Amino acid sequence: MSADADAVLIVNVEVNGAVVDLRIESAVVVAVGAGLDRSGAPVIVDGHGGALINGLHDHHMHVMALAAALQSVPVGPPQVMDAQAFASVLRQAALLPQGQSGLGWIRAVGYHESVAGPLDRLVLDALVETVPLRVQHRSGAQWVLNSAGLALVDVDTLPANGVEHDDAGIPTGRLTGIDHVLRWRWSTTRNRMYAGDGPDVAAVGRLLASYGVTGITDATPYASTDDYIALVEAQRRGHLRQRLTVMGAPHLTPSQLAPLRSGPAKIMMADHDLPSFDEMVALVRQARNHGRTVAVHCVSRVALVVALAVLEDVGVMPGDRIEHGALVDQASVTQMAAMGVCVVTQPNFVAERGDRYRVEVEARDLDDLYRCGGLLSAGVAVAGSTDAPFGHPDPWRAISAAVERRTIHGQVLGEGEAVTPLRALQLFQGAPDAPGEPITAIVAGQAADLCLLGVPLAEALQAPMAGNVRATFIAGDLVFGG
Ligand SMILES: [Zn+2]
């Protein structure tokens, strides 16, 4: 081996089932084998027999929203369960020095009606009067602002279709479906988004590295390249080292999205506002004109039926995917297997939201929620993701949930959809453009995006958890642990 200043030798690690050494040079794995030459004074990491696996890829999450959420107050289950706790966390947040949560706002996230009923401006004013407050619904679809917040976003100049008014014509505080406008209103100028008082993307990079995550797909349906400024900056500065693939809306071309790597175009099928068949066809065609695959957000059975009919009509492209697939019946399973459409699921929702689903979802639907094992055995490609910050960003929790299918209160949901721990891990080991095809072996010549566990793989899979991650390498650089 030649001397290489940036070479890394990882010794005594379990790779592909055998304890060996692995050498990295210039961001690439160059050798895997027993007793590798230690010359060239490379950095040496001793794995003590722990497993070295391909780094995890979270196939559907939202970087900027996660960055903001890390600076936010959670006001939904499981942290906040009732009206009293809701009032108390918000009042406490209002006592903190302004600026603590960013731009003087209290940003509360994860709200659900089960906590304190429907919210409006008056309910929030009674809790927090002078500090601008915004509360995001758990679905991510709606914000409710107090009066101070409404004044700050200049509510009268917001798109009318997103602002709810009462009978007297006064805004209720509920703003729906206008995040693309609000994103800029939360702060006054675009630059402030990345001037240190906006969301801290570096914190996201560090957190994900601690989970062994080396790649992510941002699933936000951004409509403008301006929306990507903060992500481009974060990558350029090395604040977000993970390999990043972005979706964005179907009208964005790969060259417009450059220097970011473009993934499938995101097509929303919101249940409150389902697009028509023809509108959907037009959106998929738009993506195709730019050579892009599509990722269609489908939560209900009907949305999925329409999405699959549209894809049948336009023609499937390898890499097309269904996001969430929260409810999938057997006819759709058969159809997806035949079409070669991949489902990108969030097993963590079974754990995080399962208790609520058991109350709210019709009994006949419970076994069809966030299916996984049943899809795989029918030949449908499935990939895993967390949908952070709408789900917990730790993929190991999702891996564990895919195995256990157990809610926080210990109930099992869709037992037949459980998968083995190894298969659950592999949900997070597909490439971004082929998420349902896990890459399990580590071979010379591949990128050195690796996750070192403190124990052998079989032991780690007995109780999958982020605590087993000892070190994370991206492009050969140690970005976590050591
Ligand atoms: Zn999402």
Give the contacts of 264 (CB within 8 A, at least 6 positions apart).
247, 287, 292, 293, 294, 295, 319, 320, 321
Blockwise average pLDDT, block size 10, the chain, 482 residues: 72 96 95 89 89 98 88 88 92 64 73 95 94 91 94 91 95 93 66 49 93 97 90 94 97 96 95 90 98 96 96 97 95 97 97 90 91 98 95 95 94 96 98 96 98 98 97 96 86
Distance, CA 222 to ligand 1 centroid (Å)?
12
Please report the pLDDT score of residue 101 as a whole number.
41
What pLDDT is recorded for position 100?
A: 42
- Topology of domain 71-191 in CATH is Diaminopimelate Epimerase; Chain A, domain 1 (3.10.310)
Q: What are the tens digits of pLDDT across the range 424-437?
A: 999 999 999 999 99
Cβ density class 200-215: b for 16+ within 10 Å, e for less: bbeebbebbbbbbbbb
For residue 15, how far is its CA from the centre of ligand 1 (angstroms)? 33
Tokens of 58: 């979270």
CA distance 209 to 232: 18
* Three-state secondary structure call for residue 480: strand
For residue 146, the CA-to-ligand 1 centroid distance in Å is 26
For residue 414, the CA-to-ligand 1 centroid distance in Å is 22
Q: How far is the CA of 30 from the centre of ligand 1 (A)?
A: 36
Say yes or no: domain 212-439 is CATH 3.20.20.140.
yes
Q: What is the bridge-based pairing of β-strands 434-438 and 430-431?
A: antiparallel
Which tokens belong to 16? 């592909």
For residue 388, report the distance from its CA to the centre of ligand 1, in Å. 7
Residue 212: the pLDDT is: 98
Domain range list for the chain = 71-191, 212-439
CA 273 / ligand 1 centre spacing (Å): 17
pLDDT value at residue 96: 65
Hey, which residues does 115 pair with through a beta bridge?
Answer: none
Q: Which chain residues have CB less than 5 Å from ligand 1, an ion?
A: 219, 387
pLDDT at 57: 98
Query: Is the N-terminal amide bond of 78 cis, ω within 30° of 0?
Result: yes
Which 3 state secondary structure label does DSSP give 154? coil
Q: Is the pTM of this model over 0.75?
A: yes
- Residue 285: phi, psi to the nearest 5? -60, -40
- The pair of structure tokens assigned to 187 is 């702060």
Cα–ligand 1 centroid distance for 129 (angstroms): 32
